[in-house]
Amino acid sequence: MIAEASIAVQASVARLQEVVLDPEAYAAADTKVSRIEIESRTPDGLVARIHGHFGPVRSVLRARYTIHPHRIDLDMLQGRLRGFHAEFRFEPVADAVRLTHREEYDFGYGPLTPVVEWALRGWARRSVEAEVRALKAAAEAA
């Protein structure tokens, strides 16, 4: 299942990268993320534990964030899903930067996967939309 949302942000690419890597930017808004604990920082990103909820289910996802010039990838290292990948793309446009956040879920529930995807599709879309709004607010506040 894929959920994606975009928004124009009055900030630089560098500022958006800072905000995506700032645990407070997610927890301060009404998103599926309640807390992020950074385990380690590397020159090209970081490893963190993301505490949140996936629909009604509380979860912890351990992930690696990898910084690229106009994108940050987030790859699940450990979690309840069979697979999870997200990306934050930064595209300069006119006097802003278009932030696109895409999440790709691999539930791994065999024949039940289509039912799970159907049940959670709207929630996933709304959660990604809430995250881009939260990141925009954080980036433009500075």
What are the per-10-residue average pLDDT scores of the chain (142 residues)?
96 94 78 89 94 78 95 94 94 95 91 88 90 93 79
Counted domains in the chain: 1
pLDDT of residue 23: 86
pLDDT at 31: 77
Q: How many other C-beta atoms lie within 10 A of the C-beta of residue 81?
A: 15
Name the phi and psi angles at 131, rounded to 5: -65, -40
The pLDDT value recorded for residue 54 is: 67
| C-alpha to C-alpha distance for 50 and 62, rounded to whole angstroms | 6
pLDDT in the model for residue 11: 96
Q: What is the pTM of this model?
A: 0.90
Q: Which of 85, 80, 26, 30 is nearest to 57 (CA)?
A: 80
Q: Tell which residue, 65, 14, 67, has the closest CA to residue 38.
A: 65
- CATH code of the domain in which 58 resides: 3.30.530.20
Range of the domain at 92: 2-141
